[in-house]
Structure 1
Amino acid sequence: MNRRSLLIFIGFLLIVPLVIIVITQGGFIPKVGNATHDPPSINDIPEGQLGEAILRGRDLLHDTSNILRSEAASIEDGEKRVNELTCTSCHAGNGIDENVSSLVGVSGVYPIYRDRSDNIVTLEDRINGCMVRSMNGQPFPEGDEDVKAMIAYITYISKGVPIGSEPEWLGKNDMENVPTPDVAEGEEMFQQTCITCHASDGAGTGPNTGPALWGEGSFNDGAGMARLSKFAGFIKNNMPQDDPGSLSKQEAANIAAYVLSQDRPEWQGHDDDWPNGGGPTDIMTKELREQVKNDTIDWDKVLGERK
C-alpha cells in the first residue's frame, strides 16, 4: 500500500465512526427503546390489493364473529368457527387503543419463542392461538387470505415502531401481587356495576359493547384472560368503561375471581401447554372453578408467592 492509499484508508477509519455518531445522536436511526404509540390513520392506507387486505383485516378485528359466521357454509359451521366475541372485545379501538391491549408494534415482536408451546411462534401462529383459545373456535388454514389480511392490518398500524423494540404499552394489563380475592364481594359488585354491559348472567350485550364473560359465547379456560392475574389487571386498568382505573386492586381481583369461577368452555390442550414445566398456577381451570364453588380453593397456592 503506497502512502496515498494509506492516508485514504486511515481517513476512512476516522470518518466512519463520526458519521455513525452523527446519525444515531441526531435521531436519524430510531432507538429501540424510543417506541412511540402513533399508529397511522386508516385513511392513509395504500391503494390496491394491500390496501384492500388492510381494510379486510381491520373489519375482521372489529366484527370477527359476525363476519366469520356469516361467511360459513351453515349456522352450525359458523358457531364452530368462532364464539360470540371479536378481537376488539379485548383489543379496543380495532387494536389501536394504547390503554386496552393495543396491537400497535406487535408485528415487530414476532417471531418469538414461547415457553407455553416450547417453540418459535410467528404472528400467524399467535393469531391462530387466539382463534382456538380466546375465540374458542378454529384456526385459520395455513396461508389463509383472512389471516394474511389480519397480519397486513397489524403490520400497518405498527408502522414506525422499530423492530425489536419493547413498547411499554404491550403487556401492561398483567397485575402483580394479586390480593386474595373475595368471590362473594366480587359477585355483589358485578351485579351492581357490570350487568349494564355484560348482563346478569354474563352473556353480554354485544361483542364490542359488553362481551360475554362466561358461558358458551365466551373465551375458554386456555385463553390468557382465564388467568386471574391477567383478567384482574385488565379489569383494574380498563373497567368500568366510563371510569377506567377507578377500581382498587382488591375490587378488580374480587370481580375477576367471580367471573372466572363461572362455567365456560374447557380448553382440551392443558396437558400440552408448558411441556417443560413452570406454567402459571392461576389458570382458572374447571378444577379450580369447582374448588371456588365448594369453598375449598387455596388462593395462596393459586396466586403463588406474593410480596
Structure 2
Amino acid sequence: MLFAFGALVAGVIHSHGEQADTSKSAPADGKIAFTPPPESKIPDGPGGDSIRHGMAIFRNTGTEAAQYVGNGLTCSNCHLDAGRKPLSAPMWSAWVSYPQYRSKNKKMNSMEDRLNGCFSYSMNGQGSPSGGPPPKGDPIYTDLEAYFHWLATGAATGAKLEGAGFLKLKKTPLGYDRLRGQVVYQQHCAECHADDGQGRTDLNSRSIFPPLWGPHSYNWGAGMTQVNNAAGFIKVNMPLGAGNTLTDQQAWDVAAWIDSQERPKDPRQKGSVADNAKAFHNKEQSFYGKTVDGHLLGTGTPPAH
C-alpha cells in the first residue's frame, strides 16, 4: 500500500481541472460539486508569489518549513495532490469551513490556529529544530492561507462541498482487529512503507514513502491516530492510485495495525499517559493509553536522529 499520509513522491498525480466549477447541481444530500483552479491560473505578482510559496510549503514541508518539522512527513502526505484530492481532507473545503469551533482545543479556531495544530501534531513540531510550531503571525501561515484561499476560488464560505474531509467509513460487523490488519499491511503496504513502517528514503535520505509509525511519523496528538480517520483515508486513497480496492474490513483492520504502533508522545501530556488519555483521548477510537504486546501505547518513541 502506498500510504500517503500528508506529497509522497514528486510525481504524485495532479488531476487539475481547467477552472473552478460550482455550477453542477447539488446531489440529494445538498452538497455542492467543486473543482479547484489549475496551477496555470495562479496570478502573477506578489500575491501569486505568496500562493506559490504556500503550495511549495505544502508539498515540501520539511524543506520549506524545516525549523518547525520534527518528522519525515509533508502536508500533502495526508492531503493528497497538494491539498486538491476529494476525500483526503482537501484544503479548498477546509478554507470555507473556518473559523469553526473545535472540541479538540475547546475554542473557535481560525485557519492559523488549525495550521498551528497541524505543525504541533501531524508534523511533530516538538521534535523540530525550533521545538514547536511556527509562532503566531509567521509568514508560513500567511502563505499557506493564501494557497488555500486560492484553491477555494469560487466556493462560498460555509458551503457544504462534495469530497470534504475524509470518508466516514461505516463500522463492519466484525469490528477492527490489528492482527488481521498486520496481514493486510504485509500484503498491500510493506512494499512501499517497509515491514517496520518506517517508509523509504532516497540516496539523500529524503522521504519517498512516508513513515507510518515510529519516531519519524505523526505524534499521538494527530487526528490520524484515530482508527476511524485512518480507515476512511485508507479506503478511498490507498494503495496510491488504486483507492477503493481494499474492502471496508481490510481498511479498518490495517488502520488498526498502523495506529497500534508507538510514535512520538502527545505534546499535550503533562502527567501520566492515563491522565492524558482521560483528558484528550477518551472519546476517540484510538489505541492511546492501551497496553499492546506488553507495551503501554502513548509512552512515546525516543527522539528521532
User: Is 2:93–2:165's contact at 8 Å kept on the other side of the alignment?
Assistant: no
Runs of 4 or more consecutive aligned structure 1 residues displaced over 3 Å after TM superposition: 206-209, 270-275, 294-297
Show the counterpart of 1:133: 121
Show the counterpart of 1:65: 62
- 1:202 partnered with 2:197: yes
Q: Counterparts of 2:90 and 2:281 in 1: how far apart (Å)?
A: 27
Give the count of matched residue pairs.
255
Question: Runs of 5+ in structure 2 lacking a partner?
Answer: 1-22, 126-131, 270-274, 298-305
Q: Counterparts of 2:137 and 2:180 in 1: how far apart (Å)?
A: 47
Show the counterpart of 1:281: 284
Q: Counterparts of 1:184 and 1:215 in 2: how far apart (Å)?
A: 18
One-letter amino acid matched to 2:285: D
User: Is 2:72–2:207's contact at 8 Å kept on the other side of the alignment?
Assistant: no
Q: Counterparts of 2:233 and 2:39 in 1: how far apart (Å)?
A: 26
User: Is 2:87–2:164's contact at 8 Å kept on the other side of the alignment?
Assistant: no
Closer/same/farther in 2, CA of residues 296 and 248 from structure 1, 3 Å limit: farther
The 5 A counterparts of 1:1-307 are: 33=30, 35-69=32-66, 78=67, 81-137=69-125, 138-177=132-171, 179-205=174-200, 209-269=208-268, 280-285=283-288, 287-288=289-290, 290=291, 292-294=292-294
Closer/same/farther in 2, CA of residues 219 and 143 from structure 1, 3 Å limit: same
- Which fold has the larger relative contact order, with Cα–Cα distance below 8 Å and residues 6 or more apart in sequence? 2
Closer/same/farther in 2, CA of residues 143 and 273 from structure 1, 3 Å limit: farther
Q: 1:237, CA displacement in angstroms?
A: 1.4
User: Is 1:35–1:161's contact at 8 Å kept on the other side of the alignment?
Assistant: no
Q: 1:53, CA displacement in angstroms?
A: 0.5
Q: Counterparts of 2:164 and 2:209 in 1: how far apart (Å)?
A: 23
Which deviates more from structure 2 when the two are superposed, residues 112-121 or residues 261-270?
Answer: 261-270
Question: Runs of 5+ in structure 1 lacking a partner?
Answer: 1-26, 70-77, 298-307
- Higher Rg: 1
Q: Counterparts of 2:143 and 2:39 in 1: how far apart (Å)?
A: 14
TM-score normalized by structure 1?
Answer: 0.75
TM-score normalized by structure 2?
Answer: 0.76
Q: Counterparts of 1:257 and 1:157 in 2: how far apart (Å)?
A: 33
- Alignment root-mean-square deviation, CA: 2.8
Closer/same/farther in 2, CA of residues 278 and 184 from structure 1, 3 Å limit: closer
Q: 1:231, CA displacement in angstroms?
A: 0.7
Question: What is the percentage of aligned positions where both structures have the same residue?
Answer: 32
User: Is 1:82–1:136's contact at 8 Å kept on the other side of the alignment?
Assistant: yes
More helix by share: 1
Closer/same/farther in 2, CA of residues 296 and 94 from structure 1, 3 Å limit: closer
